[in-house]
Amino acid sequence: MLQIGPYQIDIPVILAPMAGVTDRPFRQLCRQQGAGLAISEMVTSDTSLWQSRKSRQRLDHRGETGPIAVQIAGADPQMMAEAARQNVDNGAQIIDINMGCPAKKVCKKAAGSALLRDEALVASILQAVVSAVEVPVTLKIRTGWSPEQRNAVAIARLAEDCGIQALAIHGRTRACRFAGQAEYDTIAKVVQTIKIPVLCNGDIDTASKAQQVLQQTGAQAVMIGRAAQGRPWIFRQISHYLNTGHLLPDPPLSEIRDILCTHLEQLAEFYGPVMGPRISRKHLGWYLQTLPASGPFRAKFNQLDNAQDQYASVRDYFEQLLEREENAA
């Protein structure tokens, strides 16, 4: 169990915020598949940009199960405070601050993980945001800017002192991006140093790995990012294993087909008839990573620009897979 302010999160398996991935349809799907909490895509703290189509979609939480957690990014304390206030007015129940994104375009603006190089600015941002809103404020960081500048423990102490109510840590420095092994030993040191809940993120791609990481770090929850792409059922698999010690198999092909079709329908509904089918292509690619003989089908699917044609092609593809499975049995 994970406590964030007044919110009790009964399932300690959280969907990580991922730009361009954790939109409303994906968050809702992951919650249905067992995620205890789903954090929104990163939203810029520059509220003057919120009228763009992309920002309006990122700020759309209609129909979501609470608590609604919104991640904001920026490097100016007052802009971050104002962005937090406006998100709370828009329905956010938890504000998450991004100090973990390694993307160059974010770090160029001295935001995301670039902030880890300036502990005084980190403190100013955290204090400004915590003071601006009544809801809990959480923070996501990396273990530092580079292996030579690993300061997760110092940042964690700062965060606790500033009133941050939970800390998520991706177990790599900014310089490491997604290469190498996640540093669970650094996360364990943070857990031993602070009293607020710590969420462990990085390289957790199976239920047994989730349990191992929780035991190794002492963290209160795991945060799943890339491993959920095309495999939203990973949340129920991890939760079931943590509760029972038994591994759930992957869903049967018929259930994967139904999950995928529902996901594609929701993307078309959310993004509209032009953008919906385009955005569906990358999600389909992730689902196909676990399925056989998918190359030719994916190439064909990527030529389709109509949602109805996409659904029909998915159903045909799965029909062939199910037929092969039946013949092999």
Residues 44, 149, single domain; the answer is: yes
**Domain extent at residue 21:** 2-244
Q: Output the pLDDT for position 109.
A: 56
Each residue's pLDDT, cut to its tens digit, for the chain (329 residues) gives 799 999 999 999 999 999 899 999 999 999 999 999 999 999 988 888 888 888 888 888 999 998 999 999 999 999 999 999 999 999 999 999 998 665 555 545 556 567 877 899 999 999 999 999 999 999 999 887 666 677 889 999 999 999 999 999 987 766 556 556 778 999 999 999 999 999 999 999 999 999 999 999 999 999 999 999 999 999 999 999 999 999 999 999 999 999 999 999 999 999 999 999 999 999 999 999 988 778 899 999 999 999 999 999 999 999 999 998 888 76
Give the pair of three-digit tokens for residue 303: 């030529």
Is residue 107 annotated as part of the catalytic site, yes or no?
no
Residues 257, 189, single domain; the answer is: no
Residues 313, 205, single domain; the answer is: no
Residues 211, 167, single domain; the answer is: yes
Q: Output the pLDDT for position 179.
A: 59
Residues 76, 159, single domain; the answer is: yes
Residues 162, 232, single domain; the answer is: yes
Residues 57, 142, single domain; the answer is: yes
Residues 217, 316, single domain; the answer is: no
Q: Long-range contact list for 275-284, CB < 8 A, 24+ apart? A: 276/307, 277/304, 277/305, 277/306, 277/307, 277/310, 278/305, 279/23, 280/307, 280/310, 283/26, 283/229, 283/230, 284/260, 284/310, 284/314
Helices (H), 102-199: 104-107, 119-132, 152-162, 184-193
| CA dihedral of residues 182, 193, 244, 241 (deg, nearest 10) | -20
Q: Output the pLDDT for position 102.
A: 56
Among the three residues 219, 244, 269, which one is the final residue of a domain in this structure?
244
Q: Output the pLDDT for position 55.
A: 80
Residues 98, 140, single domain; the answer is: yes
Among the three residues 217, 244, 271, which one is the final residue of a domain in this structure?
244
Residues 179, 125, single domain; the answer is: yes
Exactly one of 101, 107, 162, 176 is catalytic; name it: 101
Rounded to whole angstroms, the Cα distance separating 262 from 259 reads 5
Among the three residues 223, 244, 265, which one is the final residue of a domain in this structure?
244
- What CATH number is associated with residue 17? 3.20.20.70
Residues 213, 232, single domain; the answer is: yes
Q: Output the pLDDT for position 146.
A: 61
Question: Both ends of the chain: CA-CA distance in Å?
Answer: 42
Residues 157, 227, single domain; the answer is: yes
Domain count, the chain: 2
Burial label for 281, CB within 10 Å (0-12, 13-18, 19+), is middle
